[in-house]
Structure 1
Amino acid sequence: MRFISPKIDYAFKKIFGSEQSPRILISFLNAIIYGGDKVIQSLTIVNPYNPGQVFTLKDTFLDVKAVLADGSIVIIEMQIASMVAFNKRVAYNLAKAYSNQLVKGEDYPLLNPAIAVTITDFILFNDTEKIISKFTFHEEEEKFKILENELRLIFVELPKFNKTLSESHSLTDKWIYFLKETAHLDNIPESLAAISEIEFALQLANQANMTVEELDIVDRRGMMLQDEKGRIAYAEEKGEKRGEERGEQKGRIKEAIALIMRQLKKRFGDIPATINSQVEDLSIEELERLGEDIFDFNSWEDLSSWLEVRSR
């Protein structure tokens, strides 16, 4: 067997946000939010993924959103690479999910609690070894709560989880192991199959059960996300050494051009000199936009048309 990686946001949406995924998501959320206690009994997945849906690599609605039986809203996101103002984006998404419950003129008592569960494939909090960190509003000195659990932020940092499967005894451990190690499995281990929801999640992640189109999107999405992760890591490393804004800008441009050239060569073969020259003349903003659009091109002519529009 071969399995897709749940770390890829498209795959994550398929596994946890499909029409057949509620019992998977219930088990996962109970494990992550409530330590395995069966607090959540039912939920409805909002905007579920379905096999006939066509996602492009520029789609931004690959997170999973659910409404619990008590009306609480949960948004779940997989993030494999850090980004500028990442914490602010998470806070914004939580605030938006909370405030969007009301339409103009409705009363505040109609608001239900909102929870943002964010899984990261990078270290977010260096001051703690905890894998799962949970945040609510509280008074700074005496720590008493305000808003109770109206707004909650929950983070799962995958790199901090170092248990083997034999060491993963709790439901929480097994779900985190699933997220981190599924792509490296060649069968469904007994200890994971013993949890029916995880066994079902592995069936959804099994490449044999996916269409050619789904596999192609997963492959291209994974390549794009890994390139982005590498780009960010490289930029951070070089940025620390340079230290000056101008040097950082030049480094970003050089790196972005190199990444674009690798992607173009992989897709279409040898790069024409005219294309090479035009790409090197692009600004960092245009290069980043090209990095998003590149997988929508089917020929050099498509790219030439794109570059011609940018040059006007």
Structure 2
Amino acid sequence: MTRFIHDQFSKDYLEELLKPFGTVQAPSRVAAEVKEIDVLFTPIPTQTAHLNTLGILGRMATTPAIFEPFRNPASVDEIGDCISKLLEIKSAIQREAKRNKIKIPDTEIPQLWILTPTASENIISGYGGQEKVDWGDGVYFLPKHFRTAIVVIHQLPSIPETLWLRILGRGKVQQRAIDELVALPSTHPFQRVTLELLYSLQQNLRINQNIEIEDRELVMRLAPLYQEDRERARQEGLQQGLQQGLQQGEQQLILRLLNRRLGNIDSSLIERIQQLSIEQLEILGEALLDFVTVADLELWLSQQQNTTNQEI
């Protein structure tokens, strides 16, 4: 179960980071078979100049790309399955070009990036993976016509350019990356959205009864960050000297977390949340950690309304 939670986090994470720069399909179904590509990305040419904010991940996204992230080390068969998806996509593009009587340049065929925490030397050598000097440690390119690279996240150097990939690592590698993320200026364009996704991951792991020690440590690391974030939002509102600003800031934070946890919230529920006091919003911020469905939110709001009516 926890693997699927992490898989969803990886897809959401890559989608949020890449969508300012192009079209993201996550997941994308391969037409020929019932297979799904985790993330299929097509860059917008006018936006690629700004991809340097994502370091090596941004460099990977300067051309059409398929991203296949793995929580556990990718096996020989799983890597082969990823390559087969790429070949299906390539064939579909070529068939479409043939129908339209046009020639597709190689640059329009996606590059496959397999993101795995670790990989044995036997797997890398078995697929003919080789590092390139201009990409650094941990990025292994398969022979040219495969258009594939295996990215071994735990072998990446701990430098700012690899941060956005190391977030998808495990254990100490991921926790170190989270520390670096928190240390970034609050004005960084991707710090806020990444923290929100991590908070959502924490909440999903928290309600799972059978999580691994590694995941339990991740939950413990993220819990104080969530509390600090809420306190920071309150302080920012106070510094503005406006009670309304404080309440709106709390509302926005709660709504973002609810959307991450339960999906898009109905407008009628949003209106009810906007009517809550700051104290009620703070209570909701704690209660939503136990919500599983929208019905849990509706029940909580009804209980709050009943309490308010009784007091009146």
Q: Judging by fraction of residues, say which structure has more helix.
A: 2
Which structure would you say has the larger RCO, counting Cα contacts within 8 Å and 6 or more residues apart? Answer: 1
TM-score, normalization by structure 2: 0.43
TM-score, normalization by structure 1: 0.43
